[in-house]
Structure 1
Amino acid sequence: MVFTIRPAVREKIGLLFGIAGASGSGKTFSALTLAEGIKGQNGKIAVIDTEAGRALHYAPMPGAKADPASGTFDFMHLDFPPPFTPERYVEAIKAAEEAGATVIVIDSMSHEWDGEGGCSDMAEQAAIAAATDRNGVVQAWKVDAMTAPSWKKPKQLHKRMMAKLIQCRTHLIFCLRAQEKIKFEKVKDERTGRERNEIRQMGFMPVCEKSFMFELSGSMTMHPETPGEPRYDMQRKLNHDLQAIFPAGQKITVDTGERLRAWAETGADRPPADTDADATDDLIAAIQDAPTLEALQRITSSPKTKQWRKHLSENRPDLSDRVDASVNAALEIFEREDEGAAA
């Protein structure tokens, strides 16, 4: 692989911004207010709604015009029922982009991790399946033992989703639920010298994969006592520039969104999307997901795959090597499984 070194130049970015909060903290209204400022004069807002149409509360009445000052917004609505798998989130975002959205609000992103069919649900179901004997009886003792390995696939799917989101050209705003968390800590009693358990309040924490909020361009948490305001005493990721855009104690406004867009779109144009790399990622994902050797062979022997691998071999050897490596890795896994079964 040849490395290229060039002078660093700031580039425009597609925003990935997170707003977490408990019920009543104003996260959906704040997300739509931000989106109104981000979209500008000619942009379009889309809302991916996992909350059974709750976002429609912010749509104008039939025949009426949207008025952000009064709490209504002009947006396209995508109803998103379960299962809330990472792949379906990517599909929903693509559908919103194809409909012309320039800024997308995802409400709520928490379902990807903790909703029906989300990552936690997938891991739990995989653990139960692995702990079920041939007679269909679940061995309770084995469920706990299978919990850790059952997270491998959900984490892989979440990682793939994040890779897609980071490459997205559209501005994305994620709403996330937050829950009050506590932590049990062992504390030494100064009087007796003995250890005792003590409950420590952790405050409101976003319901999501533990590093999700910190992988975004920026994120914040809101509190029901101060709806619509970023809280600096709660989990957040706001660099110096973003702190100036989101001052503590001030509600989010349309002007806030305009300033956020200006921050994101300051710099050189981003390089065009690498469509070859995107298509190759999809092929590699299919190879990695092949449940059997026969399924893998169907993928690799299809005319479409053969034609694509030929194209990569002639034009993109870097991507061709990645496909070859993924096929070899999948074959090795099936060979080890066969050896284990034979033993």
Structure 2
Amino acid sequence: MKIQKAQKEQVKLRVGISGASGFGKTYSALLLAYGITNDWSKIAVIDTENGSANLYSELGNYNTVNLQPPYSPERYIEAIELCEKSGIEVIIIDSITHEWSGKGGCLQIHEQLGGKFQDWAKITPRHQAFIDKILQSNCHVITTVRKKIDYSMDRDSNGKTRVVKHGLKDITREGFSYELTIDFEIINDNHLVVASKDRTGLFMNKPEFVISSGTGKKLLDWCNNGRTLEDIKVEIKSCTTLEGLRHIYSKYPNLQSNIKEIILSRKREIENVVVPNKEIIETIKPSKNGVRINADTKSE
């Protein structure tokens, strides 16, 4: 246990994208992921939507994990761990709805146990382990979730019962959105989104827009305290010590894949300056009378 300064650079994004079927959740998630990592090969989609992630393969060489039933919390955790071990930087879980209401998901597990209220004591820890895995992952995580129309049965002033429509509701356990860095809601089939929850302050109470790779880049810049990749490149180029390069590399874990080659190139430049000087010093030896001469010189 120790006290240390808070560093936003250490933040891994937890982004939610919700919307009705056909509104473009998967496509939007892919563009967002590319904006974050700028490398399709570092993106993986955990696909529970019957291979829908493969529909956009022309975008780039991203990876997929085809997750089949049962959609238990443990199966999702296994898929996330597979992505982490494979060096993935952005994991898209498309979608988390199946973990809750799909075949073998939490609601079906509850039903199979008998459907009693006390049976949730066995299921809730399993569901929470899945949520914790998302929150504790060393990758950026984007989750998609389906929506459904929420109804209730209310009585009017005459005592008659009527169906009241309350809008769309996420098909997952209530409260998940509170865990997210930002929660985007796709509001129509034109792919327009609004931020229903936003810890970054970048999109809250702003006009509707369409998610692009630029949206992901904007979020990554926020993670790096507003410093863009170009700013960091300048910082690297101006660094004159190897220790300084190590500090810069560790300071921006969200961008390490982007700056690794630049760091190595600058490292070689610094070493090419330092090493020759060191070799010159090593060729200078003291003579018997105390005069420093070049070791290769045969006479004083």
With normalisation by structure 1, the TM-score equals: 0.61
Are residues 1:217 and 2:211 paired? no
Are residues 1:32 and 2:30 paired? yes
> In the alignment, residue 243 of structure 1 is paired with which amino acid?
F
For residues 113 and 252 of structure 2, the distance between their equivalents in structure 1, rounded to whole angstroms, comes to 40
> In the alignment, residue 111 of structure 1 is paired with which amino acid?
H
> In the alignment, residue 96 of structure 1 is paired with which amino acid?
C
CA gap of 1:269–1:121, structure 2 versus 1, over 3 A, is farther
Partner residue, 2:207: 248
Are residues 1:230 and 2:193 paired? yes
Q: Which secondary structure state, in structure 1, belongs to the residue aligned with residue 45 of structure 2? A: strand
Partner residue, 2:106: 119
Q: Which secondary structure state, in structure 2, belongs to the residue aligned with residue 38 of structure 1? A: helix
Partner residue, 1:156: 125
For residues 55 and 81 of structure 1, the distance between their equivalents in structure 2, rounded to whole angstroms, comes to 14
For residues 42 and 81 of structure 1, the distance between their equivalents in structure 2, rounded to whole angstroms, comes to 24
- 2:24, 2:189 within 8 Å by CA — same for their partners in 1? no
- 2:224, 2:252 within 8 Å by CA — same for their partners in 1? no
Please list the CA deviations of residues 95-123 of structure 1 after superposition, one character each: whole Å capped at 9, or x if unmatched. 01222211011111100000011110100
Displacement of 1:124 in angstroms is 0.5
Displacement of 1:7 in angstroms is 5.7
CA gap of 1:201–1:102, structure 2 versus 1, over 3 A, is same
Partner residue, 1:130: none
More strand by share: 2
Q: Which secondary structure state, in structure 2, belongs to the residue aligned with residue 154 of structure 1? A: helix
Please list the CA deviations of residues 22-45 of structure 1 after superposition, one character each: whole Å capped at 9, or x if unmatched. 111111110001011011258611
For residues 254 and 203 of structure 1, the distance between their equivalents in structure 2, rounded to whole angstroms, comes to 29
Displacement of 1:9 in angstroms is 4.9
Partner residue, 2:44: 46
> In the alignment, residue 241 of structure 1 is paired with which amino acid?
G
Are residues 1:174 and 2:131 paired? no
- 1:184, 1:200 within 8 Å by CA — same for their partners in 2? yes
Partner residue, 1:78: 65
After TM superposition, the structure 1 = structure 2 runs for residues 187-198 of structure 1, keeping only pairs within 5 Å, are 187=156, 189=157, 194-198=158-162
Please list the CA deviations of residues 268-326 of structure 1 after superposition, one character each: whole Å capped at 9, or x if unmatched. 9599xxxxxxxxxxxxxxxxxxxxxxxxxxxxxxxxxxxxxxxxxxxxxxxxxxxxxxx
Unaligned runs of at least 5 residues, structure 2: 227-249, 254-300
Partner residue, 1:302: none
Please list the CA deviations of residues 32-77 of structure 1 after superposition, one character each: whole Å capped at 9, or x if unmatched. 01011011258611111111211101013xxxxxxxxxxx232011
For residues 153 and 105 of structure 1, the distance between their equivalents in structure 2, rounded to whole angstroms, comes to 27
- 1:36, 1:254 within 8 Å by CA — same for their partners in 2? yes
- 2:45, 2:92 within 8 Å by CA — same for their partners in 1? yes
For residues 42 and 55 of structure 1, the distance between their equivalents in structure 2, rounded to whole angstroms, comes to 13
Q: Which secondary structure state, in structure 2, belongs to the residue aligned with residue 241 of structure 1? A: coil
- 1:180, 1:204 within 8 Å by CA — same for their partners in 2? yes
> In the alignment, residue 205 of structure 1 is paired with which amino acid?
K
For residues 42 and 28 of structure 1, the distance between their equivalents in structure 2, rounded to whole angstroms, comes to 15
Aligned counterpart for 2:166 among listed residues 202, 215, 218: 202
> In the alignment, residue 257 of structure 1 is paired with which amino acid?
G
Q: Which secondary structure state, in structure 1, belongs to the residue aligned with residue 46 of structure 2? A: strand
For residues 101 and 148 of structure 2, the distance between their equivalents in structure 1, rounded to whole angstroms, comes to 12
CA RMSD for the aligned pairs? 2.5
CA gap of 1:202–1:42, structure 2 versus 1, over 3 A, is closer
What percentage of aligned pairs have identical amino acids?
33
Partner residue, 2:225: 266
| Equivalences, count | 230
Unaligned runs of at least 5 residues, structure 1: 61-71, 128-145, 272-343
Q: Which secondary structure state, in structure 1, belongs to the residue aligned with residue 18 of structure 2? A: strand
